[in-house]
Amino acid sequence: MTGHVLNFLGETKLELGPTDKANGNWRTGRDDAGVLWLVLDKTDSGTNTISEAVIRELDRHIAEAEADLPKALVIRSAKDTGFAAGADISSFDEMGRSGADDLLSDAHKVLDRIENLNCATICVVHGAALGAGFELALACDYRIATPGASFGFPEVQLGLHPGLGGTFRLPALIGPTDAMTMMLTGKTAHTKRAKDQGIVDTVIEERHVAAAVAAMVNGDVDEHNPRVTSRAFEFGQARAIAARQMRSRTEKKAPKDHYPAPYALIDLWEEHGGDREEMQGAEIESFVQLLDSETSKNLRRVFFLRQRLKEAGHGDDDISHVHVVGAGAMGSEIAAMSAIRGKIVTLGDIDTDALGRAIKRAVQICNDKHLSGTETRDALDRLMPDPQGYGIASADLVIEAASEEKKIKEKIFKGIKSKLKKDALLATNTSSLSVDDLASNVLAKSRFAGLHFFNPVSKIDLVEVVKGAATTDKTARRLAAFCGSIGKLPATVQDYPGFVVNRALVPYMIEAMVLMDEGVSKEVIDTAAVRFGMPMGPVTLADQVGLDIGLHVAESLAEKLGDKMPPINDDLRQKVERGDLGKKTGNGFYDWSDGTPYTDADLTDAPDDLTDRLILPMLNACAEVLREGVARDADQLDGAMIFATGWAPFRGGPINYAKSRGITEIIEALRKLQETHGPRFAPDAGWSDLD
């Protein structure tokens, strides 16, 4: 019987002999040194997740190890995509509370048995070990990381906290302060930080993994020593003081009414952090309760909305060379993200200083993305300043990212008409100009579309792929695949005033200015929006976007949509004329000289309809773009609004919120606002399709 050879990242080769079993989701076998290898290779996905089947199979393998004790146990992944991306949440809704309780209890027993196995247990991690994958790694005695490995508990983003022992194993390993920070924020510890914190014992290249395993088997690695600070938190009084501070910090970013999971975690640690056995039982109970909450259900919905958008970006884009016209804030980041993701990029701008700033910005983005020195060097090698625009002739895709002025864009299109190679795609990064209007200056309209990136490109994942009347489906698919290839979430939409996101978002900002004209303070307006769940209030958002850009988009929409838009107030126009453009100039509606303004106003005397006047115009616009066929469906729209604007994710998106509140109630509220404030609040006919 021939053995099965697993090749890890082109380096470590593990040849499993006749006892090898390719059984379900785990590949197992013992090497010549008597080390048992359990290699996770989930059969139904290119990415490992920790499902019930994975746990049940692992249980059997651990039982066999207990019966025939190996020299050591090594757990790792066979997937190039990483170790494990957390639990398989697709089954959460089906299992119910009792099913979840039973599965968690059984999974805890399996991890406890790994922890108590009477031999060295080692987890080798490449790529990401998240959620339940991280908890599996924590159950082992040692953790080996290869460069690029990362560890994290993103459960708070699903309205949950760790549920397989992370709440007590991570604090015991690195101390409660660092551990609670990781769990409360969902932030990831990349390779170096993971080593510094003590999450991993060693970071080595893949080719040295076998030697590191041998060293651990032979006991040539120092044992973990609990931190002094960890002992202090064994006392309830110390935990109580720290818990109060944690709640105070958490409340500023995640109000308890909207996001209960962080507070449940703090309560859990404060009440039971001194007793592991108590903590273990309480962790399961708390997790199951959160699993049944509306917040968690909606946040899990958001997870699947992201997956759907991500799937739209799958496929081969057949684009290896990208030329970006314009090295401003948008163009420089589009170029950087394309180069980081492996594209050859030429960046054109007649301003050589702008090109220099773009390269510096690319370096900063590489640092922010935790790229290694080699990865950063390779990305910069692919990004070439091109003041003469020579790259246009060989580019598979040309992205125009000049200022939002039709005449400037038209001039660029006329200038590059004769330079584009056969079959090249041409895209415009526009936030409000009509793709069909711009297409009149394009030679091959079938290969022309909009690519509406959002600022900052390096941090906002969504991109609207805007189809014009002549844009072929093939062009739209290639552009969506291009977005996917550079790590973005494509939403393919039709040409329409404001497309989807700005059609909904701009009325939110302009209505706030109407309210200010009526005497409502900007602080009260922003506070009402934030308490609803928006990441920032509309006045702060207008300053962030830039008042000049906001005015331009608002005027464009008003010209096309008429009385569906709120009136643009004189104060906005005057600020733009004076050059008070918001954050980028240091002054707008707010003073930004000391950083982001903080608003938390008393809403006692706020108008009763304040929140609805801000939120319902967005919902009404969403009903409109669905009726007009601009968005594909309600799920795509909800995803676009969440991932482009941060729209109250715990509410599951604007259409999901409207359905939860009740379509009839939404229509009635809009009619009351229409009676009081005018035709811009008239309920759109599209609501009848959603009722």
Query: Over pLDDT 90: what percentage of the chain?
Result: 84
Ordered alpha helix ranges (H), 117-235: 132-138, 166-174, 176-185, 191-197, 209-217, 228-232
> Residue 14 above 70 pLDDT?
no
Burial class (CB in 10 A: 0-12, 13-18, 19+), 316: exposed
Marked catalytic residue, from 323, 452, 511, 587: 452
Q: How far is CA 271 from CA 248, 265, 287, 412, 545, in A?
A: 17, 10, 15, 64, 44
Q: What contacts 432, CB < 8 A, 6 or more positions away?
A: 404, 497, 498, 499, 502, 552, 553, 556, 557
Q: Which helix (H) or strand (E) holds 265?
A: helix 261-272
Q: Kindly report the number of other CB atoms within 10 A of residue 603's CB atom.
A: 15
CA-to-CA distance for 682 and 156, rounded, in angstroms?
A: 38
Residue 224 is among the residues annotated as catalytic for this protein: no
- Residue ranges, CATH 3.90.226.10, the chain: 4-291
Q: Which two tokens stand for residue 62?
A: 């651990």
Q: What contacts 431, CB < 8 A, 6 or more positions away?
A: 404, 452, 502, 549, 553
Marked catalytic residue, from 51, 296, 431, 458: 431
The pLDDT of residue 614 is 97
Q: Which two tokens stand for residue 37?
A: 């290898």
In this predicted model, what pLDDT tens digit does every residue of 105-124 receive, in sequence order?
999 999 999 999 999 999 99
Q: Is 316-494 assigned to CATH 1.10.246.90?
A: no
Determine the residue type at 134. F
92-98's contacts with Cβ under 8 Å and 24+ in sequence apart are: 92/291, 92/300, 93/297, 93/300, 97/288, 97/291, 97/292
Q: Which two tokens stand for residue 203?
A: 């970071």
CA-to-CA distance for 530 and 223, rounded, in angstroms?
A: 47
Q: Residues 291, 293, 299, 304: is their CA dihedral positive or negative?
A: positive
Residue 323 is among the residues annotated as catalytic for this protein: no
Nearest to 110 by CA among 50, 168, 162: 50
Angle CA(602)–CA(605)–CA(609) in degrees, nearest 5? 105
User: How are the residues of the chain apportioned to helix, strand and coil, as percentages rounded to the nearest 5?
Assistant: 55, 15, 30
> Residue 239 above 80 pLDDT?
yes
Determine the residue type at 215. A
Chosen CATH of 4-291 out of 3.30.70.360, 3.40.50.2300, 3.90.226.10, 3.30.9.100 = 3.90.226.10
- Residue ranges, CATH 1.10.1040.50, the chain: 501-690
In this predicted model, what pLDDT tens digit does every residue of 541-580 receive, in sequence order?
999 999 999 999 999 999 999 999 999 989 999 999 999 9
CA-to-CA distance for 302 and 282, rounded, in angstroms?
A: 27
Query: Which pLDDT band holds residue 600 (cuts at 50, 70, 90)?
Result: confident
CA-to-CA distance for 590 and 522, rounded, in angstroms?
A: 9
Marked catalytic residue, from 464, 511, 523, 624: 464
Marked catalytic residue, from 48, 298, 502, 656: 502
The pLDDT of residue 3 is 45
CATH code, residues 501-690: 1.10.1040.50
Q: Kindly report the number of other CB atoms within 10 A of residue 546's CB atom.
A: 19
Average pLDDT over residues 371-399: 96
The pLDDT of residue 335 is 98
The pLDDT of residue 5 is 55
The pLDDT of residue 9 is 58
Nearest to 159 by CA among 673, 606, 649, 657: 649
Residue 4 is among the residues annotated as catalytic for this protein: no
Average pLDDT over residues 239-250: 93
- Residue ranges, CATH 3.40.50.720, the chain: 316-494
In this predicted model, what pLDDT tens digit does every residue of 502-537 receive, in sequence order?
999 999 999 999 999 999 999 999 999 999 999 999
CA-to-CA distance for 271 and 265, rounded, in angstroms?
A: 10
Do residues 539 and 528 lie in contact, with contact meaning Cβ atoms separated by under 8 Å? Answer: no
Residue 190 is among the residues annotated as catalytic for this protein: no
